[in-house]
Amino acid sequence: MSELQATPAPAPVPAKTDISAGLREFWHYFSVNRGAVLGLVVFTLLVLVAIFAPLIAPHSPDQQYRDALLVPPMWDALGDPRFILGTDPVGRDILSRLIHGARYSLFIGLFVVVGALIVGVILGVLAGYFGGWVDAMIMRVMDIILAFPSLLLALVLVAILGPGLFNAMVAIAIVLQPHFARLVRAAVMAEKSREYVTAAKLSGASHLRLMLVTILPNCLGPLIVQATLSFSNAILDAAALGFLGMGAQPPTPEWGTMLASAREFILRAPWVVTFPGLAILITVLAINLIGDGMRDALDPKLKRS
Amino acid sequence: MLNFILRRLALIVPTVIGISLCAFFFVRVLPGDPILAMAGQHGVSPERYEILREQFGYNLPIWQQYFNYLGNVLQGNFGVSLSTKRPVLTEFMTLFPATVELALVAMLFAVLVGIPAGIFAAVKRGSWFDQLTMGVALTGYSMPIFWWGLLLIIFFSGYLGWTPVSGRIALTFFLRPITGFMLIDTILYGNWAAFVSALRHLILPAIVLGTIPLAVIARQTRSAMLEVLGEDYVRTARAKGLSPKRVVNVHALRNALIPVITTIGLQIGLLLGGAILTETIFSWPGIGKWMIDSISKRDYVVVQSGLLLIALIVMAVNLIVDVLYAVINPRIRVK
């Protein structure tokens, strides 16, 4: 994409890893990627919208205007300037619901990624560090989870736990977590035999210290990229579960759930379907743009070319 | 080669056992009672309940139930659906071709568009075509496909009226399935009108299901191509004075396609998951919709055996991909 741009040669990597220098270097590579910066801007705006939702939204997300059912968007001839993106079948303002829905989507993404990250990292570090039967056990379980199509497995898990937003998030975290475990395991196995680890071991570092303090920080790069991609996957999967009636339940203004309850009106009132999906697409796209930029910035192979 | 396949098979055995355990126990902890679910709204008397419990073996210890189930499965008996009272395997076999047909056409669409797009993007790196293609690819990759399907229905079915909204073929045609693949069956019957109808029903779902694989394949092809174009042997080929076309088509493409083929293979497993959403939107009578319906009907037997069958198919596909990969790329075999 933008690797061709004539940038001055980067400063040589400092011998001692310095966090602020590392960040500066990361930003140097990240910021040349216009798409990634755009994604970051959109994402920041979304976060702000989510935080200040009650202040920004023109109406309450649950307020039903009985005199304004299925009003088309403002720019339509039949539109009503009170409802910028129109209203849904029970007269709720779609824009306000979308604004509040941003809270759900971002929270879902955050919860799932943190959950999957914690469990995945623990399992991956254990498998990679100890090897042998610990590794075999953990990785077989991961194989089993990965053998099921992820959405199907999430659906069955939600059916077991009971439909609802929280259970949907737990199910998605379970389904996404093997990717982290595999990644961390591979990275730990690669790092384990390096000299600095042996040195730390010889100086008497405990297993826990070796795993978490010595090795793990050196596996962060791919983990961050995976976390970003999982963030968008989590939002998509949660919306899909909501759409199938297994995620957040109405009247929650979750975007997938909004789509599900709008389905029967697609031909009569396309706007009730168009905007929630657009909101999902924009959010996921912004996060994926950031993820792409991060991968390029953190991948040493691309950097020096 | 045989050694490689055997080793891979040996690795799969514990996973298969794990999958069967999962499918069995997941369904056991589903809330609700299978016998009450079977009885439906009418309910069942306590005496009859006990008889049924015994008849279906639900009174046995759970591990014994598992081994009975496993024994039955190994003999090809996947149980009888609680709601339709038909054998699960029979239902699966009638619905599976619909999903396979949809998935194959979707994959064909993804490959035929994705690979050329990726190659051109790589060759014209940095051009507007490259930027446009990659922008569209990333959008496709980020697409909530259930929404994408609805949009296409609004536009092509609602606004333009070109395609039907749901199903596999117009209800005016009744053809006894031969292969189960509607496109092939209609040709075998020589029924041209039916073929056109089937094709019109298939086109939107295939585009929807193919969108994400298309995006992944285009991106993967581009990056594999870029990597290969930077290799020494490509430079050598260029230096020899070969035409740019030949360098791309013969020297670069062959090597670039190896990782792409793996990607395509791995996407097939994902397609089965994506089929759940696509089939629901278009009321496509395949296994994705079957599973969703069974989950909401609490049809334990179908959910359990369906999970098992789907996971086994995904594993088999992945195994075949691995083997094919080893065939085309000998380097992998040594490991």
pLDDT digit string (tens) for B66-106? 888 888 888 888 888 888 888 999 999 999 999 999 999 99
Q: B103: distance to nearest CA of chain A, Å?
A: 14
To the nearest whole Å, the CA of A133 is away from the closest chain B CA by: 13
What is the number of alpha carbons within 13 Å of residue B308 lying toward its C-beta? 28
The whole-number pLDDT of residue A7 equals 46
Q: How large is the average pLDDT for residues A156-184?
A: 91
Predicted confidence at residue A24, as pLDDT, reads 84
- Nearest-CA residue of chain A relative to B141? A285
Buried b (16+ CB within 10 A) or exposed e, B192-210: eebbebbbebbbbbbbbbb
Q: What is the pLDDT of residue A290?
A: 92
Mean pLDDT across chain B: 85
What pLDDT was estimated at residue A131?
A: 86
Cα distance between residue B181 and residue B174, in whole Å: 14
Q: Best interface-test mutation with B: which of A98, A148, A244, A301 has the largest number of B CBs within 10 A?
A: A148
Nearest to A147 among B15, B26, B142 (CB): B15
Element (H, E) at B54: helix B46-55
Is the separation of the CB atoms in B220 and B259 below 8 Å? yes
Kindly determine whether residue A288 and residue B158, on different chains, have CB atoms separated by under 8 Å: no
Contacts of B294 in chain A (CB under 8 A): none
Taking an 8 Å cut-off on Cβ atoms, the answer to whether B135 and A35 are in contact is: yes
- Cβ neighbours of residue B121 under 8 Å, at least 6 residues apart? B129, B130, B133, B134, B218, B222
Of the candidates B31, B291, B307, the beta carbon closest to that of A162 is on: B31
A5-18: pLDDT as tens digits: 444 444 444 445 56
Residue A239: its chain B contacts at CB < 8 A? Answer: 144, 146
Interface predicted TM-score (ipTM): 0.86
Q: Which two tokens stand for residue A140?
A: 């077989």
State which residue of chain A sits closest to B308, comparing Cα positions. A148
The percent of residues above 90 in pLDDT, for chain B, comes to 31
Q: What chain A residue is nearest to B19 in terms of C-alpha separation?
A: A144
Instruction: State the average pLDDT over residues B21-33.
Output: 78
Bridge partner residues of B80 (DSSP): B87
Task: Please state the rounded mean pLDDT for residues B126-154.
Answer: 92
Smallest CA–CA distance from A243 into chain B, residue: B146
Sign for the pseudo-dihedral over CA of A253, A254, A255, A259: negative
DSSP-assigned letter for residue B243: -
Contact by Cβ (8 Å): B276, A155: yes
Inter-chain CB proximity A273 and B142 less than 8 Å:
no
Q: Which residues of A touch B144 (CB under 8 A)?
A: 236, 239-240, 243, 256, 277, 280-281, 284
Residues of B in contact with A186 (CB under 8 A): none
Task: Please state the pTM of the whole predicted model.
Answer: 0.87
Task: List, for residues A108-119, the tens digit of each pLDDT value.
Answer: 999 999 999 999
Report how far apart the first and last C-alpha atoms of chain B are (Å, whole number).
Answer: 12
Mean pLDDT computed over A153-174: 91
Query: SS3 for B80?
Result: strand
Looking at residues A198-205, what average pLDDT do you find?
84
Q: Which residues contact B90 (CB under 8 A, 6 or more apart)?
A: none
Closest Cβ opposite residue B315 in set A140, A147, A266: A147
Chain A CB contacts of B20 below 8 Å: none
Assigned token pair, B111: 């490959």
**Would the CB atoms of B280 and A244 count as touching at under 8 Å?**
yes
- Please state the length of chain B: 335
User: Which of the pair, B55 or A285, is modelled with greater confidence?
Assistant: A285
Query: What tokens appear for A226 in the block?
Result: 């995976």
User: What does the H/E/C string look like for chain A?
Assistant: CCCCCCCCCCCCCCCCCCHHHHHHHHHHHHHCCHHHHHHHHHHHHHHHHHHCHHHHCCCCCCCCCCCCCCCCCCCCCCCCCCCCCCECCCCCEHHHHHHHHHHHHHHHHHHHHHHHHHHHHHHHHHHHHHCHHHHHHHHHHHHHHHHCCHHHHHHHHHHHHCCCHHHHHHHHHHHHHHHHHHHHHHHHHHHHCCHHHHHHHHCCCCHHHHHHHHHHHHHHHHHHHHHHHHHHHHHHHHHHHHHCCCCCCCCCCCHHHHHHHHHHHCCCCCHHHHHHHHHHHHHHHHHHHHHHHHHHHHCHHHHCC
Is A149 in contact with B22 (Cβ distance < 8 A)?
A: no
Percent of chain A with pLDDT over 70: 92
3-state class of B31 per DSSP?
A: coil
Chain B interface test: which of A4, A139, A156 (most B C-beta within 10 Å): A156
| Tens digits of residue pLDDT in A76-128 | 888 888 898 988 888 899 999 999 999 999 999 999 999 999 999 999 999 98
CB B181 within 8 A of CB B97: yes
Spell out the SS3 assignment of B172-213.
Answer: CCCCCCCCCCHHHHHHHCCCHHHHHHHHHHHHHHHHHHHHHH
Q: Chains A, B: CB contacts under 8 A, how many?
A: 128
